[in-house]
Amino acid sequence: MADIGKNLGTAVKVLRNSGLVAIPTETVYGLAGNALDHKAILHIFEVKNRPSFDPLIVHLHHMDQLSEYTLDLPEKAKILAEKLWPGPLTIVLKKDPAIPDVATSGLDSVAIRIPAHPLTLELLSKLDFPLVAPSANPFGYISPTNPEHVNDQLGNKIDYILDGGSSRIGIESTIITFNEDKPEILRLGGTSLEKIESLIGSTIVRASQLNPIAPGMMESHYSPDKRVVLGNVVELMNIYPVEESVFLRFKKPVPGVNKDQQFILSETGNLEEAAQNLFSTLRILDKLDIKYIIAEQVPDTGLGKAINDRLRRASAKKNEINNKDENY
Ligand code: TXA
Ligand code: MG
């Protein structure tokens, strides 16, 4: 298992020597390496079992560094960067050759973010290179929101886990790109669409396309191993055996089901709280001795859109597999 601690000196040393450190961010934990170091980048792909065509996000300390790593900054991107960074927003920009092609899977664009976590910002300020950091989970699984999640799955493959507590937002950053200056959302996430549109006007949401531009858009991403069934919980109770199921609801328990089979994302109906709890709850449910996670969508506004997106993706893979099973 990896060492877990708050020692920035250790983290700096590991990163300077091409090693990997799991870092806390306000969204989810990242698996970080030197963004200018081929060896570190290739190691990240290997540890995550991530396909080489899935590009990484480059994490910066300050907007001033943009000119070093990107080629131009559309006006609307500048507004978002100035208003929302540090924060849960990733902006795809034209790549400067300073960023190695392996980091961006050969694309001529690079995804950039300044994370809003004090420990990681301090770490970045101590380094003379940016950090590439995908979420610190095996490819396709649920993103980690605390050091134990990282340790559970990647602990024996990485050098150090920087402990910054539980992630405040709990869901990955929103990804935006500019297609000839027109803003397109590639992944719904920790910055709400409403927030973005209040700053730069309307956007096109491409996050639910079938042909993914960003692999995070793939239908079966963010999946637990257990089968997630999404729909009206009360109706699904009549279809799936209650004794082999747990119920994941937004606000209220399902009437007539044991309390210990019920998991509530936010008793006060707060979507921020629900986002914060989503991934850690799914991880808990995935470890239970049950067959089905019966879940329902949350209100489709604010962070609710990103929560519903993750629930839909979590349910996608298992349905595919199960449909195949049912055919045999
Ligand atoms: O909140 C987050 O964004 C976290 C924390 C650690 O910062 N990171 C994260 O990284 O979620 P990852 O690698 O799990 O997801 C990054 C997504 C991938 O779906 C990738 O395809 C997309 O960003 N992406 C990266 N570079 C891109 C580019 N140049 N164009 C389009 N999509 C890109
Ligand atoms: Mg990820």
Looking at ligand 1, which atom is closest to the CA of residue 212?
A: 21
Q: Which residue has the higher pLDDT, 215 or 6?
A: 6
pLDDT at 210: 44
b (16+ CB within 10 A) / e for 255-279: eebeeebebbbbeeebbbebbbbbb
pLDDT tens digits along 201-214? 999 999 765 444 55
Ligand 1 and 135: CB distance under 6 A: yes
Cα of 252 vs centre of ligand 1, distance in Å, is 33
56 pocket-lining for ligand 1 (C-beta < 6 Å): yes
- Site to probe by mutation for ligand 1, drawn from 89, 135, 185, 191 as the one with most ligand atoms within 8 Å of Cβ, is 135
What percent of the chain has pLDDT above 90? 89
103 Cβ neighbours under 8 A, 6+ residues apart: 35, 41, 55, 56, 58, 110, 132
120 lines ligand 1 (CB under 6 A): no
Please check the confidence at residue 225 and state whether its pLDDT lies above 60. Answer: yes
pLDDT digits (tens, 9 = 90+) for 274-320: 999 999 999 999 999 999 999 999 999 999 999 999 999 999 864 44
Q: Which ligand is nearest to the CA of 143?
A: 2
Q: Atom 15 (ligand 1): residue with closest C-alpha?
A: 134
- Residue 22 binned pLDDT confidence (cut-offs 50, 70, 90): very high
CB of 54 closer than 6 angstroms to any ligand 1 atom: yes
The rounded Å distance from CA 146 to ligand 2 centre is: 14
Confidence of residue 228 (pLDDT cuts 50, 70, 90): very high
- The answer to whether 224 and 283 are in contact (CB under 8 A) is yes
Q: Is 107 in the pocket of ligand 1 (CB under 6 A)?
A: yes
What average pLDDT score do residues 317-325 get? 44
What pLDDT is recorded for position 25?
99
**Is residue 67 over pLDDT 80?**
yes
Q: Is the dihedral of CA 266, 143, 69, 124 positive or negative?
A: positive
* Nearest ligand by distance to the CA of 54: 1
Q: 7-21, 45-59, 207-221: which has the minimum mean pLDDT?
A: 207-221
Q: What is the pTM of this model?
A: 0.94
> According to the model, what pLDDT value does residue 317 have?
61
Q: What is the pLDDT of residue 215?
A: 53
**Smallest Cα–Cα separation from 231: which of 292, 322, 170?**
292
Question: Is the CB of residue 166 below 6 angstroms from any atom belonging to ligand 1?
Answer: no
The yes-or-no verdict on residue 218 having pLDDT over 70 is no
When mean pLDDT is compared across 41-55, 66-80, 309-323, the lowest value belongs to: 309-323
Confidence of residue 271 (pLDDT cuts 50, 70, 90): very high
CA of 259 to the centre of ligand 2 (A): 32
Query: What angle do the packed helices 193-200 and 75-84 form, to 10 degrees?
Result: 130
pLDDT reported for residue 223: 83
- 153 touches ligand 1 (CB under 6 Å): no
**CB-based burial, 164-188: b 16+ in 10 Å, e otherwise:** beebbbbbbbbbbbbeeeebbbbbb
Give tens-digit pLDDT for 104-154.
999 999 999 999 999 999 999 999 999 999 999 999 999 999 999 999 999
**What is the spatial distance between Cα 120 and Cα 72, in angstroms, rounded to a whole number?**
26
So what's the pLDDT on residue 179?
Answer: 94
